[in-house]
Amino acid sequence: MDRAAIIGIGMTKIEKNKVRETFADMVWEAVNLALADAGMSIDDIDNVITTSSDFWDGRTISCMAVGDASGAAHKNVSCVEGDGTFGAFYGMTRAISGSYRTTLVTAHSKGSQSVSSLITNAAFDPIYERALGMDMVTACAMQANAYYHRTGTTPSQAALVSVKNHGNARHNPFAQLGYSITVEDVLKSEMIADPLRKLDCSPVSDGCTRPKQASSQAS
């Protein structure tokens, strides 16, 4: 059975607003960091996967904005409409397929250039739900209320997730919101959509998160 391994990673700093960097700038930085980490050059890569979202990038075929910066020239390239996790999974399947040996995956977003409530509202049914003004935060709030009711979980218990995640982010110099908070801090933060408060919700972020190279090898 073949196996896949991550042999190099690169990541830009995740920030609220990268005013000076374009999509290509962010990807170029992360790709070069990943290649350096792996001790490789772009010539060692035989295929490239770019991960982006037309909605968040504000253009169709959004992958075209980062193809050159990803080193995709003269290589097999595939575009993924989705998140970075899906891109990484797709890269792994390519590596273990036997058709490719070394895959480079990029994933980027500039949330600061978008209105998240309008974009995520478009995910709902256009006849019955979209006109209600729902977005992903309000939808998650409804799910949280249902979960609390069904399981007996309390907001204080759920706040421990935020405490853990922000605490873990302190160990990543590229993280946007790495600091020590308490359950009380979470419960006192601004209410966004009951029962979700500001510190329960993910921030709007700009960055290119972890391009990866996966190499297949026989076990």
Rg of the chain in Å (alpha carbons): 20
- Chain centroid offset of residue 209 CA: 6
Range list of H helices, 83-193: 84-97, 116-121, 136-151, 155-169, 183-188
Answer for the pair 6, 217: CB distance below 8 angstroms, yes or no.
no
- pLDDT digits 0-9 by tens, 6-56: 889 999 999 999 988 999 999 999 999 999 999 999 999 989 999 888 888
Closest CA to 120 of 22, 202, 210: 202
So what's the pLDDT on residue 25? 93
What is the model's pTM?
0.81
- pLDDT digits 0-9 by tens, 143-155: 999 999 999 999 9
Could you tell me which residues come within 8 angstroms of residue 16 by beta carbon, excluding any fewer than 6 positions away? 112, 176, 203, 204, 205, 206
- pLDDT digits 0-9 by tens, 170-209: 999 999 988 899 999 999 999 999 999 999 998 889 898 7
So what's the pLDDT on residue 210? 60
Examine the pLDDT at 218 and tell me if it is beyond 80.
no
Q: Is 44 exposed, middle or buried (0-12, 13-18, 19+ CB in 10 A)?
A: middle
Element (H, E) at 208: strand 206-208
- pLDDT digits 0-9 by tens, 53-103: 888 888 888 888 888 999 888 888 888 887 788 888 888 888 888 888 889
Give dist(CA 213, CA 31) in Å, integer.
Answer: 10
At 3, give phi and psi (nearest 5°). -130, 155
Domains of the chain by residue range: 2-114+206-218, 116-200
Q: 2-114+206-218: which CATH number, 3.40.47.10, 1.10.1060.10, 3.40.640.10, 1.10.10.10?
A: 3.40.47.10
So what's the pLDDT on residue 215? 55
